[in-house]
């Protein structure tokens, strides 16, 4: 299969938080459990009814949604627009690469805490199930270019799009709200590798 022929569904990632169990306990109380609001495309993950507020030196973002299940480390994914409103400077990072990333204050219904690192601008990437990657000749960690918004007023080519392969993944191109607005793509649109 020619990789350039495959229509890849778009998933726009709005700002969200993943919490560690320890941080969940502080923010929502020991013994509480996240409640599923809706599934997301990636198998096993779900958006929750629970939200937190983020507070930075310049401002506040309210009702930032939790994605569950919990992770080993708290990870907070926001856009550069969000970062400007908070007054913090998170780096562009692949999921899980949190060393030296930005901090922020997190406020939950039962408590609050200062996250020292964990705030990132998510590096745009494509998720592949192993069989999808194999069919398209994609290797884990490979970078590709993605054409988005084709035929539209804001068509562009995203360079340096990271390919991530896992049996927990399903084919989807993830970008953040700024990137979606710049190319005028939305969740459910299709893009192609060039």
Query: Which residues form the interface with its own copies (CB under 8 A)?
Result: 79-81, 91-92, 123-124, 153-160, 177-179, 181-184
Q: Where are the beta strands (DSSP E) in the chain?
A: 8-13, 16-18, 36-39, 46-55, 60-68, 75-77, 92-93, 102-107, 112-122, 125-128, 143-148, 156-165, 172-176, 190-193
Question: How many C-beta neighbours within 10 Å does residue 157 have?
Answer: 14
Nearer to its own copies, 134 or 194 (CB): 194
The residue (of 4 and 134) whose beta carbon lies closer to its own copies is: 4
H/E stretch holding 116 reads: strand 112-122
Three-state SS letters, 50-70: EEEEEECCCCEEEEEEEEECC
Nearest approach in angstroms of CB 103 to its own copies is: 20
- Whether the bond into 103 is cis, omega within 30 of 0: no
Among residues 81 and 190, whose Cβ is nearest to its own copies? 81
Shortest Cβ distance from residue 113 to its own copies (Å)? 27
Strand partners, 167: none
Give 23 or 174: the residue with its C-beta nearer to its own copies: 174
Closest to 35 measured CA to CA, from 71, 65, 77: 65
Indicate the residue among 13 and 79 with the shorter CB distance to its own copies: 79
For the CB of residue 93, give the shortest distance to its own copies in the complex, in Å.
Answer: 9
Cβ-in-10-Å burial (0-12, 13-18, 19+) of 72 comes to exposed
Rounded to the nearest whole angstrom, what is the least distance from the CB of residue 79 to its own copies in the complex?
7
CB of 41 to its own copies, least distance (A): 21
- Nearer Cβ to its own copies, position 65 or 70? 65
Minimum CB distance to its own copies, residue 158 (Å): 5
């Amino acid at each position: 299969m020619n990789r350039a022929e495959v229509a890849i569904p778009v998933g726009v990632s709005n700002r969200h938080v993943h919490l560690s169990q320890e941080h969940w306990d502080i923010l929502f109380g020991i013994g509480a459990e996240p409640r599923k609001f809706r599934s997301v495309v990636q198998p096993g993950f779900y958006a929750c009814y629970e939200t937190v507020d983020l507070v930075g030196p310049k401002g506040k973002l309210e009702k930032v949604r939790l994605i569950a299940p919990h992770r080993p480390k708290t990870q907070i994914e926001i856009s550069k627009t969000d970062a400007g409103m908070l007054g913090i400077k998170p780096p562009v990072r692949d999921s899980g690469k949190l060393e030296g990333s930005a901090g922020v204050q997190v406020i939950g219904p039962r408590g609050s805490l200062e996250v020292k690192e964990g705030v990132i601008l998510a590096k745009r990437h494509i998720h592949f199930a192993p069989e999808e990657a194999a069919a398209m000749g994609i290797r884990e960690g490979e970078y590709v270019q993605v054409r988005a918004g084709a035929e539209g007023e804001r068509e562009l080519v995203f360079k340096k799009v990271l390919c991530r392969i896992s049996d927990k993944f399903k084919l989807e191109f993830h970008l953040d709200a700024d990137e979606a607005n710049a190319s005028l793509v939305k969740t459910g649109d299709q893009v192609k590798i060039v």
